[in-house]
Structure 1
Amino acid sequence: MSKAARFIIRKHSFMLMLVLFSCLSANAQVKVTGKVLNKKTNTPLAGVAVVEKGGTNGTETLENGTFSLTVKSGNATLVISTLGFATQEVKLGGKANVEVSMDEDIKGIDDVVIIGYQNATRRTTSAAIASVKGKDIENTPYPTFDAMLQGRVAGLNVLSVSAEPGASGIVNIRGNSSVAGSNGAGTATGVSAPLYVIDGVVFDVSDLRTAYGNSNPLAAINPNDIESIDVLRDASAAAIYGARAANGVIIVKTVRPKGGKPQFRLSSYVGLTTKPSMKPVIIGAEERRLKMDILREQATYQQQGIMSQFLTDSLNPAFNNATDFQDLFFQDALLRNVDFSVAGSSQGMQYRLSLNSYLENGLQPGFSIKRLAPRLFVSMKPSKTVELTSDTYMGFIKEQRGDGTGNVTPYNIQTFPSSFWQIDDVTRSNYAGKNDKVRDDAKTTSINGNLRLTWRPFENITFVSSLSYNLGFVRRDYLRDRSVVTNNRSDAFLTESNSSRYEIENYATWSKSFGRSQDHSVSVLLGQGAEEQVVKSTSANANGIPFDAIRIIAGVPTGPNLNVSTNYEDRSRVSYFTRASYNYKGKYGVDVSFRRDASSRYAPTSRWGTFPAFSARWNISDEPFFKKFSKVVSFAKLRFSYGVTGRDPGSYYAQYRQLNTNMNYPTSSLGFGAAGNIITYGGITAVTPNYAGAAPATNITWEKSPQTNLGIDLNFLKDRISLSVDLYHKESKDLIFNIPVPVTTGYTTATNNFVDIANRGIEISLNTNNLSDRSKLKWQTSLNVAFNDNYVTKLPDGNRDFTYGPVFLSRILTIGKPLYGYRVFNINGVYPTTGDVPVDPLTGLRTRIYGGAQFIGGDNAKQDINGDYNVDDNDMIIQGDPNTKIYGGFINTLTYKGFSVQILSTFILGRSVWNGYLSDKLASASNNPPNFFGTRSGPAAEFNGLNLWRRPGDIATLGSLFSTNDPWTIRSSMFVEDASFFRIKTINLSYNFPVSERLKKLGIRMIRLYGVADNLKVFYGANLPDPESIGIDGFTTANGYPVPKKFTLGLDIQF
């Protein structure tokens, strides 16, 4: 960013901070009391917000529904609102006491939603927006709120790839629309992460991961501070965020003070994480007998003859044990959370201070997360027209990551040994769980905030100036003692990264109602913003630390065993945006938005991107002709929208020719010398273009996502039932991708806007009140389900198929097919006998594999697609789709007097996975029969439940274990499995104790006891430990961190 832009940022920051601490003014005040009731049941409503209109002065009702509030005058207007009820405005007209009866609103059509820089009600918005109430996710035992959204919003897919404490999962809205910018093995890790906006502070997790590494940037946010979450699914709502909104936007609003005297809240829970259901294994004498039976049936005479005698000895204790080694690696672990907050107002200033402490130890020793998260919100009105707010939240996080590999190898029980016979000391110590010999600690400090000045010079005009910031400091220390390293050399590495992001936004809104009955209303938003982000990092690694007692990088001489590097990235963005809305009688509405963004990541000729959007609605139920249907359909609204959003490229410097100064060729004259110094040329360190990387991408343009949405909202039977249906078509155009280029270019790859992807689907949300309003038992049900179809629409080189990844795990991009398709041999069962193998009439030979060995009885029947009696890569097909087809959640909530229970279930249907877990399990046993008792096959190799070929004539699903024709290659259709599942995710049971008069005199407003059980049961058919813990590309070897069960008990007190 230029010096002028930097000066503007500093200037605005200083002005905002100066005004923030200005003196306050006082006004004449009147005290008002009242009571808020449920209109249908005539019972008091607690926790209802009562706010003086036009400001932030307010309070909330007590357990008996009463409130007391001091307002500026007796003619003030009170805004009464709470989730689940229609908002009301009450004009005092000189009254000092009021009673308000609120109508239930199952769909919340009058609930306020945030649509980007402005608020709207569900009744008047034309966008596809879904909301989650903060109270529905509070006290759920997860460190980050994104994991709590699973199964709660139609079209929002959340998957726990790793349940390691604090780890990031997969979160995408309306399908995956990202391809990685490389054709290497890591391509299939691309994730279409949404943009998060938390109280006006932008969290672009795709950018923040550059600095945060494996840590989740959202871990700094205390989930119990959240009041509501709005998910902007279509482009009409998200386009106002322009270049960052291609994958949708999630807007988080945190709890604000209601005003009045100080209100305290203390909430705490404690519990255990326990291991999930393990895969059954056969161990001990039963294991030995089973394997010997298979050997006698399938192994040749020569193979049986080379078996060591002691391996078949029934008295050998090493192979007659009864130990399930899975139990050695997992422990019941402590889970604890404490929340404290105080909120209130004093002399025109509102405040809320909260503090959160979270601890979760891992199922396996060496994994944990600790978090301390303070937050301070302050709002003041130095005058009637000026409001100042400061919102700061911090996170101090410490994580332990086990052995540092990102895997929990013991969970892949295929690798377990049958015994500790012939296992070296290092492997034995690993199996014994000596994680104290490995240190992988990450410490993160995150400081985020927003300073905001709001000026309302006139009733219908508002100016807002805002400065937001994200500051992140991450340090990771890793060390392995020589006792757990195979080369007996201790190693260590250290990384430190600092990230700073500042954004200034200034915008003005104007609104006006006019006409004979104020039937017409117009609002206009106009704004601009500037943003800068800088990431600095330093890393060092060393191998051969002389003593284990040295727990840092020390004692390693300069040379190839010691490497240090630094990194600097700087990017900036300038934006201009506007939105105009028109509403007629509440029945018809039109919204138009337009945004222009310029990003430093692009070359000057393609730096600007344009992102327009349009939406319209028709509230059909407000039409006179619809009254005859009102007894059945109480509300009906039709919505349409079209818009374009965008995305920055992943690389900060793709447009430039990148240089390389690390001339490290140890065997070359340009490599390290005897002292390990880089050789110079003419006294100057050698610098060359990075020909091993990509050519400069000077022609890349913005990735854009045009999207069309058609939706309908219906409420039935006086709002007892609500239904929302959205149909969408979302394109992701000009996605940046790397392809290989001829070596004559001087580079290995070229980057450009090569790929287009489309996602289309249907989202359905159904909410019902299942019992009579007169019933004391309340039962509400919510079902959301999304159907998504993902496919490729453009490829480079004339739309030719593009294959990438290593040979044994090659994937393919094909027009009309989904992302990450698996390239495999189609397996048509098993040849029962050698006579069943097709014979080439020209040569008389049976079908061969890669022109070599002929298939025999017991081999998996790989299909000869082209009919040349030779199975090779030309016979491979595309099969499977790792992109989720159908997903959603089912929620049941029952309340009776003070009792409440909520049951959340989630489901995934139609997702295919590449089961490397089963492939490795079978391949390890087939290497040669003695490995049946070796360190690889182990007790996991229990084949009793598999339909294996054992003798000639068998009609089997899987071939012989000892086939020599590469039977268990992962490139086989039999390892492409359906990973659909239904999970009983969370059960939350609570009881609100009656607050006696004695407790009220002590100041206690509410006491609630609650318990949560998480991840209770999962139903699925795949041959995997857990069908959810799988990456976006669908490949798994089941060696990730397992999804644990969690049980907590907590107490919530408000006073």
Structure 2
Amino acid sequence: MKKTIQIIVLATLCLNLTTKAQQPAKSSSLQKGYTGRVVSASSGEFLPGAIIKINPSNQTLVTNDRGEFSLILSDGSYDLSVHYVSFKAKTLAVQIPLKELLIISLDNDEQSLQEVEINAGYYTVKERERTGSISRVSSETIGKQPVSNPLMALQNRVPGLEITQQTGTPGGGVKVQIRGRNSINTAVGNDPLYVVDGVFYPSTSISSSLTSGILGIGGASPLSFINPSDIESIEVLKDADATAIYGSKGANGVILIKTKRGTTGAIKVNAGATQGWSNVDRRLKLLNTEQYLEMRKEAFQNDGLTPGVRDYDVNGAWDQNRYTDWQKTLIGGNALTTNASANVSGGNHKLNFLIGGTYYQEGTVFPGEFGYRRAGMNTSLNFGAIEDRLNVGLTLNYTNTMHDLLTGDPTSNILLAPNAPNPYDENGKLNWEDNTVYRNPMQYLMQSNEKETYNLIANVSVRYRIFTNLFLKASLGYASITGSEYRKTPMASRSTALNPTSLNRIADFSNNDNNTLMAEPQLTYKEEIGPGTFDALVGLTFQGNINEIRSIRATGFNSDEQLRNIAAAATLSTLDMISSQYRYTAVFSRLNYQINSKYFLNFTARRDGSSRFGSGKQFANFGAVGAGWIFSDEPIIKNNIPFLSFGKLRASYGITGNDQIPNYGYLQLWNSLSGTYQGVPTIQPLLGSIGNPDFSWETNRKLEAALQLGFIENRINVELSWYRNRSSNQLIGDPLPPSTGSSTITANRAATVENSGWESVLDFKVVDNTHWQWNAAINITIPKNKLVSYPGIESSSDAYNYIVGQPLSISRVYNVRGINSQTGLYDIEDSDNNGVLNDIDRYLHKFSGQYFYGGVQNSVRFKQFLLDFLVSFSKQNSTNSYLNGSFSPGFWDYIGPTTNQPIIALKRWKKVGDQTSISKASTIPASYTNYTRARSSGGESIQDASFLRLKNISIHYSLPKKWLNHIKVDGARISLQGQNVFTWTKYLGLDPETQSMSLLPPLRTLAVGLNITL
């Protein structure tokens, strides 16, 4: 590492000296300085990065971020050649001296707009030539959003990509699915493949059992370790043509992340900083103390009972006049967010570099000083021009992440009784109110979890031209995630009513290491054959991964102050001691042939080998074929449909696989027990599972057809896709009888899951003139999921979870016929009339997934102002709401008294004859059971969770150049950004997207920022 940094610094200094040496001398008696600007002829928009070649002086200039350049020339005539991507090149004669600012206007080249290259992983493909489904999000779009996880920058911007932020806690988990859920197994098998700078990157958390499921931290996405400001672009690969080259890795789609690279031109410094504030967007309307106590007393009256000694809220033990807004107390704070970044880049076409650093800090809305911090660096070095025989590239991304968070989420306590005691006593200690409090929401503040993570992603690629059209490329990648955790549970955080002892003082220590090393040699060949161009690629992949987790629990401390000192513990026990290795190898190839730049045929093939399968099952073959036809280039179309600028049909079909299962599942693993039997140490099957050497790969057959259209010089663009993916040979954990000593065995089931649907993208230029530009886009996805077949489902554990011919996201429910006006309880049908409600009576099914989702984007520019906003939407049902997950009205649980209700409980049944949808208040278990059956397993459990959300808004103002010239600044921009700004929904909960009743919802964030270029 030290040597690498020294090389980077040395290269930077050399490049700086070289650049200065190549620059023309400052103005002399024969030379004068002039300025100019390159703009779009149609919109007047500045064109940063335009290349200007000056003859006969042989100078080459690059415009800055405001499209400006400087000329230092002697008097005379010169030719300026100007080039910019997606614009027509222009050559003009210039006479020095200039009399005014030189403005160079370039015309849009609609053909060039289709020439933009898209990253497809092992190769790049031009937009007009792609035969697969690939969506791209640029760094410009990512930079307009105040997010800490780059995945959140994709949300509702890519059709077919469903991203759900599972918690608003910093560093929390993110659920990602591309074109639906392919596997019946919900634990594994549905995550996409992440590739960061050519290196396979973990898709799931590597945390130990200490933080598994805690605050969403245990399920945290490793992508949260990557700073969004370091990213150049993200591509999402969806269909078989795009993903089959990744074989089994691409079964659930592929997300390619490319970090920023060095640029040619003078050395440039770019720095930016934002300060943000986050809080909870929506709050529940809950009963106040008077309404709550009225409900509780009514419950006793309905039951013919009187409050008992443990009914603390109504028996006088707790103040009857006290009111605490627990939402404000527990999750009503403001989380401060600070984000700063800076980078230096520059060079020439032979050598260019980028060195950058970032810092990010985020607090929480919980009481107390908790938070999340990330610092990192990003480096890129590129040696050799494109025409050279040898090219070498190096990328390095390193981050250090620390979090100090809680072991429990206070959000789960917002339904505490409004007259519950104050959390702290007069001495500032946790208040247990004479042993009447069993759960104090502030106890979590003492039960903290600290974690530090080091994340490194490095890649070295070498490209060598063997012959004119034959290239050898080799890349070596390494990814490492190393972390340590400390979790404490002091005795002071335990209720005195539970009589805690020194054994309740617990300290957990954990270390985890996840290291991936991979090598990929490739050969590429390109040749003109007949009327077309032939392109071939063949390569190998070698990947090795080692994952180690070590966790120790220490108990029996004499003092809470000793918890960090593991030597002070009376007892040590092992929680996790895991070491697993994963080996993966593959050979892949691609053959592409295009004729006259309008007919395209693409073949991909791959043979994979995985160490997760037993002998004879380790290898499998995958492949795909894709085709495209640009029919707008046909003479009959050109001559008869002049308003059609671009038209293409494309289709693909292929087979990918899936090996997303735990390591060593084909082996029988054992775990030793502490006890003995007849003097012999005992063992048990590890993780409660029996090994199976006969299971093999899941397979996913993907079919797609798409139409792309451009109208009126591509001012209006439409892409419509239909897809159908069928995943079969499902890897499912089959249940075993207790006599086996194990709970499950992993095996292939001849079940088939189908995901089909429509994706559409429409973008158009509403206004496009010198001062005003308005671009709008809408994307919508209509997904369909179905269990096509499941032989033997009747005898499986899934008999009451799924129905053949129906979506996986259905719920088998009781027939709830509303509230009985005489009893005030839910009327639930006993379909077989046996007097017992069981699974047989759950004969109805209701859909609990998405009908459609998408986003509407707008970008409006007026002179130096730029406004962007995204409105996301989803039509969906949910099985979770605060009616389904809370206690029934009036019910009391003194151990965990989260018994308050939304104000809809005011509409509850109160007397015989009442017609309502809310059951009566009651304290008896039978009434609570009736409520939970109707609300959790009955037809009342399905709620409308549709929403419309102002997902993102950003306003930018670029300071005038004449202001900046005085302080010698090339560019400066002030911004105001917002995320999760406002939500419209009828959902009864904190957030209709996450639909969680115990975790903090995604927060609303407002941030101001400043970006400067020197």
- The normalised TM-score by structure 2 is 0.86
Partners of 1:1003 and 1:630 in 2: how far apart? 52
Counterpart for residue 999 of structure 2: 1040
Counterpart for residue 428 of structure 2: none
Aligned equivalent of 1:613, options 624, 646, 653: 624
Contact 1:993 1:1007 (8 Å CA) reproduced? yes
After TM superposition, the structure 1 stretch with the greater mean CA deviation from structure 2, 983-992 or 484-493, is 484-493
CA distance 1:63–1:491, shift in 2 (3 Å): closer
CA distance 1:511–1:482, shift in 2 (3 Å): same
Superposition pairs for residues 476-625 of structure 1, below 5 Å?
Answer: 476-486=485-495, 487-488=500-501, 489-515=504-530, 519-552=531-564, 554-555=566-567, 562-563=573-574, 565-625=576-636
Contact 2:312 2:318 (8 Å CA) reproduced? no
SS in 2 for 1:526: strand
Q: What per-residue deviation string (whole Å, max 9, x for no partner) do you get for residues 965-988 of structure 1?
A: 532122222122122211111111
Q: CA deviation at 1:68?
A: 7.7
Counterpart for residue 280 of structure 2: 275
5+ residue gaps, structure 1: 1-12, 71-75, 181-187, 671-678, 805-809, 834-856, 1031-1035
Partners of 2:840 and 2:312 in 1: how far apart? 46
CA distance 1:319–1:30, shift in 2 (3 Å): closer
Counterpart for residue 148 of structure 1: 153
Counterpart for residue 404 of structure 2: 400
Counterpart for residue 456 of structure 2: 447
5+ residue gaps, structure 2: 25-33, 73-78, 97-101, 210-216, 423-430
CA distance 1:977–1:156, shift in 2 (3 Å): same
Aligned equivalent of 2:350, options 348, 351, 370: 348
After TM superposition, the structure 1 stretch with the greater mean CA deviation from structure 2, 759-768 or 643-652, is 643-652
Aligned equivalent of 2:900, options 933, 937, 940: 940
SS in 1 for 2:169: coil
Contact 2:204 2:220 (8 Å CA) reproduced? no
Q: CA deviation at 1:814?
A: 2.5
Contact 1:156 1:171 (8 Å CA) reproduced? yes
CA distance 1:166–1:128, shift in 2 (3 Å): same
SS in 1 for 2:461: strand
CA distance 1:894–1:663, shift in 2 (3 Å): same
1:727 aligns with 2:732: no
Partners of 1:729 and 1:107 in 2: how far apart? 32
Contact 2:703 2:724 (8 Å CA) reproduced? yes
Contact 2:204 2:221 (8 Å CA) reproduced? no
Q: CA deviation at 1:693?
A: 2.4
Partners of 1:30 and 1:691 in 2: how far apart? 68
SS in 1 for 2:305: helix
Counterpart for residue 378 of structure 1: 381
Q: CA deviation at 1:628?
A: 4.0
Kindly provide the amino acid, as one letter, of the partner of residue 178 in structure 1. S
- The normalised TM-score by structure 1 is 0.83
Q: CA deviation at 1:727?
A: 0.3
Superposition pairs for residues 890-929 of structure 1, below 5 Å?
Answer: 890-915=856-881, 917-923=882-888, 925-926=890-891
Partners of 1:995 and 1:106 in 2: how far apart? 33
Q: What per-residue deviation string (whole Å, max 9, x for no partner) do you get for residues 766-805 of structure 1?
A: 112112x336222211111101111223435x2426446x
Superposition pairs for residues 421-436 of structure 1, below 5 Å?
Answer: 423-424=432-433, 431=440, 433=442, 435-436=444-445
CA distance 1:393–1:51, shift in 2 (3 Å): farther
Counterpart for residue 476 of structure 2: 467
Partners of 2:875 and 2:710 in 1: how far apart? 28
Q: CA deviation at 1:370?
A: 0.3
Counterpart for residue 42 of structure 2: 40
Partners of 1:596 and 1:178 in 2: how far apart? 22
Superposition pairs for residues 94-105 of structure 1, below 5 Å?
Answer: 101-103=106-108
Q: CA deviation at 1:1042?
A: 2.2
After TM superposition, the structure 1 stretch with the greater mean CA deviation from structure 2, 281-290 or 348-357, is 281-290
1:1015 aligns with 2:980: yes
Partners of 1:213 and 1:305 in 2: how far apart? 41
Identity %: 23
Partners of 1:732 and 1:813 in 2: how far apart? 16
Counterpart for residue 339 of structure 1: 341
CA distance 1:1012–1:699, shift in 2 (3 Å): same
Aligned equivalent of 1:956, options 916, 934, 940: 916
Q: CA deviation at 1:762?
A: 0.5
Contact 1:921 1:937 (8 Å CA) reproduced? no
Partners of 2:141 and 2:435 in 1: how far apart? 47
Partners of 1:256 and 1:81 in 2: how far apart? 18
1:816 aligns with 2:805: yes
Kindly provide the amino acid, as one letter, of the partner of residue 340 in structure 2. V
SS in 2 for 1:1048: strand
Partners of 1:627 and 1:106 in 2: how far apart? 14
Q: CA deviation at 1:379?
A: 1.0
Q: CA deviation at 1:424?
A: 4.8
Aligned equivalent of 2:755, options 759, 762, 772: 759
Counterpart for residue 990 of structure 2: 1025
Partners of 2:760 and 2:871 in 1: how far apart? 16
1:664 aligns with 2:665: no
Kindly provide the amino acid, as one letter, of the partner of residue 414 in structure 1. L
Counterpart for residue 768 of structure 1: 764
Kindly provide the amino acid, as one letter, of the partner of residue 549 in structure 1. E
Partners of 1:412 and 1:305 in 2: how far apart? 23
Partners of 1:150 and 1:179 in 2: how far apart? 24
Contact 2:591 2:604 (8 Å CA) reproduced? yes
- For the aligned residues, what is the CA RMSD? 3.8
Report the number of matched residues.
Answer: 950
Q: CA deviation at 1:743?
A: 4.7
Q: CA deviation at 1:90?
A: 7.5
Q: CA deviation at 1:897?
A: 0.5
Contact 1:395 1:447 (8 Å CA) reproduced? yes
Q: CA deviation at 1:222?
A: 1.7
Q: CA deviation at 1:869?
A: 6.1
Contact 1:269 1:1050 (8 Å CA) reproduced? yes
Counterpart for residue 1051 of structure 1: 1010
CA distance 1:638–1:50, shift in 2 (3 Å): farther
Q: CA deviation at 1:886?
A: 1.2
Q: CA deviation at 1:881?
A: 3.6
Partners of 2:830 and 2:511 in 1: how far apart? 54
Counterpart for residue 3 of structure 1: none
1:263 aligns with 2:255: no
Kindly provide the amino acid, as one letter, of the partner of residue 623 in structure 2. P
Q: CA deviation at 1:543?
A: 2.4
Counterpart for residue 993 of structure 1: 959
1:418 aligns with 2:426: no
Q: What per-residue deviation string (whole Å, max 9, x for no partner) do you get for residues 1003-1048 of structure 1?
A: 4221100011221211222221212223xxxxx4x11022221111
Contact 1:295 1:304 (8 Å CA) reproduced? no
Kindly provide the amino acid, as one letter, of the partner of residue 443 in structure 1. E
CA distance 1:629–1:894, shift in 2 (3 Å): farther
Contact 1:880 1:912 (8 Å CA) reproduced? no
SS in 2 for 1:925: coil
Partners of 1:69 and 1:127 in 2: how far apart? 44
Kindly provide the amino acid, as one letter, of the partner of residue 538 in structure 2. L
Partners of 1:260 and 1:714 in 2: how far apart? 37
Superposition pairs for residues 166-315 of structure 1, below 5 Å?
Answer: 166-180=171-185, 188-190=186-188, 192-206=190-204, 214-289=219-294, 291-292=296-297, 294-295=298-299, 299-300=302-303, 302-304=304-306
Q: What per-residue deviation string (whole Å, max 9, x for no partner) do you get for residues 837-888 of structure 1?
A: xxxxxxxxxxxxxxxxxxxx32211123335565433211353344433111
SS in 1 for 2:824: coil
Contact 1:881 1:913 (8 Å CA) reproduced? no
SS in 2 for 1:479: strand
